[in-house]
A = this chain, B = another copy of it.
C-alpha cells in the first residue's frame, strides 16, 4: 500500500529508494532498447536489477509507467540538452551545433535514446505518449526554426524547410541501427560529417 511517491523526503533511506529507481530505469532502458517493449518482461527487468519482480511495483505502478518514464525523460532531456548548447553564432553554425549536440546526447544516453526512438509511433496508449510527442515536436520545431533563420539570413538556399528538417533528423535518428560504439567514428563526429555533406552537397564544383 505504501507508495514510493508518499515517502517523506526527510528520511535517510529516501536516497536509496531514488537510486533504486534510477537503477531500474537504467536497466529497463537497456532492455527495452535491446529487446523492445513487448520483448522485455517485468521478470527480465527485476532479474537485471537483482531484485524481485514485486519490488518493481513498489516504485512504479505498472510496466507502462517504467517505459513512459524512460522515453519521456530522454525525449524531454534531448530537447533541453541541444537547446542549451546552441551557440551565439550564425544560423548555419547553430544548425551544425544542433546536429553535433544530438550526437553527443546519443553517445551519452544511448539506451534510453534507442528505446524512445524505436517506440511504436502509433502506440495504442497514446495518452501516456502525448507529453513525449510534445517534446518531440518541440525538438523538430527547433531545427525547423534554425533552418528558416539560415534561409532568411541568406546562408541557406530557399529549401523546403520541413523536408530539410526531416532529412537532418533522419540521418541522426537512423544512426542507432548501424552505429557500434566499439569501432568507427564517435557520434558527434558522425553528425559533423553528415553536416558537411548536407551543407555543401555531394556534387563536385565545376
Contact = CB atoms under 8 A, between A and B. Distances in A.
A121 B35 CA distance: 10
Interface stretch (A71-79, A105-113, A156-164): A156-164
Given A38-B38, A193-B163, A201 B204 contact: no
Interface in A167-186: 167, 169-171, 173-175, 177-178
A169 B174 contact: yes
Contacts of A149: none
Most-contacted residue by chain B among A35, A159, A167 (CB, 10 A): A167
29 contacts: A36-B120, A92-B203, A118-B118, A121-B177, A150-B202, A154-B204, A155-B203, A156-B202, A156-B203, A157-B200, A157-B203, A159-B197, A159-B202, A160-B193, A163-B194, A163-B197, A164-B197, A166-B171, A167-B171, A167-B198, A170-B170, A170-B174, A173-B177, A197-B198, A198-B201, A200-B201, A201-B201, A201-B202, A201-B203
